[in-house]
Every structure is written in C-alpha cells, then in structure tokens.
Amino acid sequence: MAGKEGIVVVGAGASGLMAAVELAKRGNDVLILEARKRTGGRIWTLPKSRLGCVAEAGAEFVHGRAPVTKKLAREAGIALVPTHSELWSYYNGVLEKGYGWMPEQQELMERVKGLKQDMPVAAFLNRYFHGKKYAELRAAVLGMSEGYDAADPKRASMLSLANEVFTDDGEHLQYRIAGGYAALLGFLEGRCEKLGAAIRLGTIVKSIDVGEGRVRLSCQDGNEYFADKAIVTVPLPLIGRIRFRPGIGGRRYAVRRMGYGNAMKVLLKFRRRWWTACRGYDLDRLEFIRSDLPIRTWWTQYPDKVPLITGWLAGPGALGMARKSERQVVEIAVRSLSSIFDVDTERVRKELAGSMVVKWPLDPMSKGAYSYATVGYEKARQKVAEPIGNRIFFAGEALYGGSSASTVEGAFASGIEAAKAVLDS
C-alpha cells in the first residue's frame, strides 16, 4: 500500500513506467497498479520461443525524430536498427517496386493550403477530389489515414493528416529496437526496482475517490490503495471505465470527440524465407508491401533475415477482421501472400510453421490501437488532460500535445510531463 505521501500510477505502459521513474528519481514513494499480468500495455514483445525470433505483437517501429526514445536507448545501451525500406506495392494483381502513390500530390497540397477550416478526410476528398480522375489519389489518402493513423476517415482531421504527410522533421529513417521494445521497457522497470518504485500486476483499478486530502484507489480484487496523488495512464476508451468521485465532468464527452482507432496484426512464422525469388524478382531486400487485399499492409523483418511476415490491418475494417476466428484470419493471410507472390496457396500453407493473430480491438485493456486527430481534437485533448484538483493527473499517448502523439515516443513524453506536473503541483 502506498503511504499517504506516495503517488500511485495507474498503468504500466510506456507512459506509466516513465512517469514512475521520473517521480522515484526525485525521492517520491511510487506504486504502479497494472491491470494486466505483464507490463508494457500496447508494447508487447514476444520472446524468440514464440515465433522463432523476437517479434512485436504491438508497437514495433520508432518513428520520426523521437528524442525521448533515442535518449532512453542510449542510456540503456540498446541499439536502434534502421529499417532499409525496400517498398513494394500490389494493386490489381500487379506487384511493383515502390509505392507510386499520390499522383496529384501538388494539387492536394494546394487544396489543403487553401482550406479555411479543418474538415474530415473523407468529406474533403468527396468535395475536392471526386470522380474517376482522382480514384487513385482518394485511395492513397484514405489508405494513409486508415493504414498509418488507424483512423476512421469520416472523423479524421484533414489538416492533421496533411501536416503529417507534408512536414519533414528531418528524420527520414524509421527504426526497430534491438531486442524489441521490451528491452527499453525492461530498462525502465530495472530503474523502478532500483529506485524502490513497486509494480503490482493483475490489479484493475475500478474507482478513484478524492477526499480528506488524499486519493483512494479501489481495485477489482477488493484492495484499496491510498496516495497523495495519482497519475492515470489508461488508454483513452478506458478512462470512462473507472469511476471517479467527484465525477470527471465534461471529460467523458471530450474523450468521445477524440479519435481512437483499431488495428490488428497477423504474425506468420515460416520454415524459411520462401518469398525472396518470386515473380522473377529478387525480393531478398523486400521490406514493406502495400496492397488492395483484405489485409492491406505486409512487412518482413529485413534487414534481419528471419522467416517472419507481419500482416497489418488498421482503421475501421480492423474490427470486422478481428471478429473472425484466428483460423479464418490466417487463411485470409495465406491466400493474400499466395496472390502477392504468385505462389500456390498449398505451398504457402506448407511453409507456415506458426502464427499469432493479435486482436487489439477486442483487447479489454486497450479497446483498440491508438489515438488519432479528429476535427476539433485539440480542445478535447486539453480538456481530458486537465488535472483534477491537483490530485489526479492524466497521461498516455493520446494526451500528449506534441507531434508524436499516438506513438510510444508520445507516451514516454507524456509520462515525463505528467510527472513534472505532479512535482510542480
């Protein structure tokens, strides 16, 4: 039980662990309560024993400049491995090198620049880029909104998407973490242990009451914890699952105004890298494939030459796919790869040595993948992130105000900000 002067952090994902380390470093008594039986939240690195190589069931890449993540990796002595990105596309039955997308990119940029006020991606395309002439452009922009941002284009902000696409932050590579994201989190957990911050797993916080100069956290297992302050880092849709007293006012409505998307991963372990010479191409360096198949995006672990292919489906379609059985999803994946590489389905099936379908939309402790910017998002974000009476603070990828919201970087940065707010309060 945390002492009266202590701070309880709800959630042991990237933001919770980071906040805990920042607070413990400054001599605070910190306790982390985590619902799952593991730490990491939406970071879930699978050990080599599961699929033959270290694999990511959740977050996988380091995007953009990511200064907090890179600093942490340096401190931990963990290498970042650049992805080499040989990109291919498979549309209308044709496999081609490169994505060849955004055919009318200049026109799109001009239109976005001329926008007086933000509007949803789908409405923007319908208004300015309708008709057959723009079919490719529409598909590319919708694919970007759904595929990268896991967003529903009917709600996603066009200005925010354009900002993402057309802004160059100077970092043109993306990276994987050597040993997986779990290596970074392991480093943070080690720091927690050294600094005396305890982590209690399998502990679902059901209600948080503020009164008599302290915070009381009541858990599903009947335990109660008391603290001076609490930082809540649960994913956006789970904030409303906790009963706050006094209530959290307009935050519930604000949460609904923010976007939170779905995504799922299909991890396929093969006996060998059977795809490296197909359709007369040398595909040894192949890394990403974008397609018009039911599971849109595929990637290998290149430059690591292991026989694992990951299928990625994000956006509104991910929920429907997640409702299918694991067997059905794997069969769809096998058929898709058979089409892309023009290899007999039976042969792909025979090469398959294991699989894992990760259904984040159905995960009770994430209820989806990550946040995305909707029209009017920023005001709602600020509302949700507001502390309650200097006692309860909120953090997490969705509540980070910088450009790396939605990512692990954003979650780390948000944890640091929340810890600072607690220390300043």
Handedness of CA 179, 185, 188, 192 (dihedral sign): negative
Stretch that binds ligand FAD, among 7-15, 126-134, 246-254, 290-298 (CB under 6 A): 7-15
3-class DSSP assignment, residue 39:
coil
Query: What is the residue type of 160?
Result: S
DSSP secondary structure string for all residues of 186-239: HHHHHHHHHHT-EEE-S--EEEEEEETTEEEEEETTS-EEEESEEEE---HHHH
Stretch that binds ligand FAD, among 13-21, 129-137, 246-254, 333-341 (CB under 6 A): 13-21
Q: Is 145 in the site for ligand FAD (CB under 6 A)?
A: no
Please pick, from the candidates 80, 119, 365, 416, the single residue that binds ligand FAD as defined by CB under 6 A: 365
CA dihedral 387, 371, 288, 68 (to 10 degrees): -10
Q: Is 14 in the site for ligand FAD (CB under 6 A)?
A: yes
Q: Is 182 in the site for ligand FAD (CB under 6 A)?
A: no
Please pick, from the candidates 184, 230, 234, 266, the single residue that binds ligand FAD as defined by CB under 6 A: 234
Q: Is 396 in the site for ligand FAD (CB under 6 A)?
A: yes
Nearest distance, CB of residue 389 and ligand FAD, angstroms = 20
Nearest distance, CB of residue 370 and ligand FAD, angstroms = 4
Specify whether the CB–CB gap between 394 and 238 falls below 8 A: no
d(CA 416, CA 25): 12
Stretch that binds ligand FAD, among 53-61, 108-116, 186-194, 245-253 (CB under 6 A): 53-61
Residue 42 or 290 with smaller CB distance to ligand FAD:
42
Specify whether the CB–CB gap between 172 and 208 falls below 8 A: no
Nearest distance, CB of residue 360 and ligand FAD, angstroms = 4
Specify whether the CB–CB gap between 18 and 416 falls below 8 A: yes
Q: Is 58 in the site for ligand FAD (CB under 6 A)?
A: yes
Task: Decide the pairing of beta strands 198-200 and 30-33.
Answer: parallel
Q: Is 6 in the site for ligand FAD (CB under 6 A)?
A: no
Please pick, from the candidates 55, 63, 372, 373, the single residue that binds ligand FAD as defined by CB under 6 A: 63
Which of 3, 21, 5 is CA-nearest to residue 412? 21
Stretch that binds ligand FAD, among 91-99, 184-192, 235-243, 300-308 (CB under 6 A): 235-243
Residue 128 or 181 with smaller CB distance to ligand FAD:
181
Q: Is 205 in the site for ligand FAD (CB under 6 A)?
A: yes
Q: Is 34 in the site for ligand FAD (CB under 6 A)?
A: yes
d(CA 355, CA 291): 21
Nearest distance, CB of residue 285 and ligand FAD, angstroms = 20
Please pick, from the candidates 51, 55, 59, 254, the single residue that binds ligand FAD as defined by CB under 6 A: 59
Tokens of residue 175, six digits: 């990276």
Interface of this chain with ligand FAD, residues 99 to 118, rule: CB under 6 A: none
d(CA 396, CA 76): 22
Q: Is 263 in the site for ligand FAD (CB under 6 A)?
A: yes
Task: Decide the pairing of beta strands 281-282 and 277-278.
Answer: antiparallel
Which of 14, 35, 395 is CA-nearest to residue 230? 395
Contact residues: ligand FAD, CB under 6 A: 10-16, 33-36, 41-43, 58-61, 63, 204-205, 233-235, 238, 242, 263, 265, 360, 365-366, 369-370, 396-397, 406-409, 411
